[in-house]
Every structure is written in structure tokens, then in C-alpha cells.
Amino acid sequence: MNENKTDLPCHVVRDLLPLYHDGVVSAETRSAVGEHLMGCADCRAEYEQMEKALPVKGAEPSTKKRFLAMMGRQKRRRILAVVLAAVLAAAAAVGGIAALNQWCVMPVSADECELKDICYVDTPDGRTAFVLWSCAYGGETTTRCRFLETDGGERVEIEIKRPVLEWSFVKGSARAEYWFVPAEEDVGEVCLNGRTVWTAAEGIREDTGYAQAFRKWDQALREAGSGRAAYDVTDDHVYLLFPDGHEEYWSYDGQLLEGPAARDGGEPDRSLVTPAPAGN
């Protein structure tokens, strides 16, 4: 029973007792609750029971301390979430940049592609067209070839792509590539990255010797599976290093040259090791 009436009703005081016990109320509230307890035996008895049930101050965190600890944990979780998000974003960015430097999705400029030669070659599988071109872009590339039937003969479309980023680009490292094109029908046109670089009106030669040698080199490389094989194309001759180690030098008119004469006082670029030929 309330022996000494105060401004605070008993049900309000009893709601405040846990906070009063932990000392997290304002000075005015603490004074009012204390005054009520002094004059109210029922509330005082409940508070005494609460003191027995609740841990002694200092033994465990108080309500205020528990609240602050909870806020601290939430703050740490927010910081951890932000850091984790930043790490994941950075990883995604690095992976994305790496992909942009590896995935060949951008066409090489047509101005950087030049047709070196085209001629027919007789093979056991039938007649093929040997197409040889050079690409001034020296970085990583992928090549795709497709054939379209036209009224003027088969059109050979060669598409050369590079990565979006050019970290692997080496200035002045132009290289030659080749393709053996099935030629059941006469070839009427050759396109490099959308630019027509040859038409049948310019004429096409039959087997010139060096193209046949290139085919044998390509076949030997495929049969060997691996090995030190390379080729180099200059303005006046083609150099072939076969997997068995022997070398051949051919002029474009089909003459098998002696090694020293073909070198013109210099060694061929043997850095053009070809583990898998570009042709098919």
C-alpha cells in the first residue's frame, strides 16, 4: 500500500525500478523514485526482491553497459560490412580488369591488318586456299574465319579480335598468321576485319612451293603435339623451323633458299614460337 503519496504512481515507479537499479535514469527521476520508495512499502518490497534477483552492480554489465556494448557490436558489424563490401568490390574490379586484359572481344583495326599472300594448294583432302596475313597489333589475339557463298565465288571473312585493355600490346611487334581455307569453290574475295583486301580480279596463283612447305610444317607440328617450332615472315622470304629441328627458307615465288642467303646477314625472329598454329 502506498504509505506516502508522491507525484509518481506505483505502476510507473515499478516500470522504472530496473532502470533505477542500474542507475540509468536522470537525477530528477532517481530522486522522485527514491522518494516514492521511502513512502511506499509495496514498491519498496518489490525493489528489495529485484535487488536479490538482479546481479550485484559491477559483477555483470548493467543495462546501460549492455546497451553500449550492443551498440558497439552493431557499429563493428557495420564497419565489417563496409570493409567486406569494399574488399569484394575491389576483387570484382581486379577480376574485371584482368578479364578486360584477357578476353579478346574488340576487333583489331582493319588498318593494322595486311594480306601478305594468297594461293591455292593441293592437299590429300582436296584443294585449299592458303591465306597469309600480318597483324600490326602485337598483343593477345583470337582469330575466327568464316566462308560465305557469293555470286563472285566464296568470300573468306577473317575476324581478328583483341582484349579491351592493351596491357599486353608490344609496339612494333607485328606478326604473321595464316589459314588453310577449304576451296571446293573458287575464292572470290578475302576480307580482314570487314575490309576487302583481295578479290579474284587480282588473280590467284596455284601451288607456289612455299605454301606446300607451310602445310607440311603445320601438319608436322600437329603430329608432334609439342616441340620447338616457329615461323617468321619477312618481305622477301618465309622461315620455317620444324619440330624435328631442321629449318627451311622459302621465297614467295617458290624457291627453296639456302639458310645464310635468306638471312641477309641476320638471324630470323625465333621468338615466334607457335605451340598451336593459327591455321586449320
Answer yes or no: are the C-beta atoms of 23 and 64 closer than 8 Å: yes
Question: Which range of residues forms the domain containing residue 275?
Answer: 208-280
Q: How many domains does the chain have?
A: 4
The CB-based long-range contact list for 95-99 (8 Å cut-off, 24+ gap) reads 97/165
Question: Is 1 a member of any domain?
Answer: no
Residue 96, in any domain of the structure: yes
Type and span of the H or E element at 135: strand 126-135
pLDDT given for residue 189 in this prediction = 93
Helix axes 41-53, 10-22, angle to 10 degrees: 30
Residues in the chain with pLDDT values less than 50: 1-5, 57-61, 168-172, 260-266, 268-280
Residues 137 and 214 in one domain: no
> For 158-202, what is each residue's pLDDT tens digit?
988 887 766 544 444 567 888 888 877 889 999 999 999 999 999
Distance CA 176, CA 170 (A): 15
Whether residues 200 and 212 share a domain: the answer is no
Question: What is the pLDDT at residue 265?
Answer: 45
Same domain (yes/no): 95, 113: no
DSSP 6-64: -SS-HHHHHHHHHHHHHT-S-HHHHHHHHHHHHHBHHHHHHHHHHHHHSPPBTTB--HH
Q: Are strands 187-192 and 153-163 parallel, antiparallel or unpaired?
A: parallel
Q: What is the pLDDT of residues 39-56, one digit of tens each?
A: 888 888 888 888 776 555
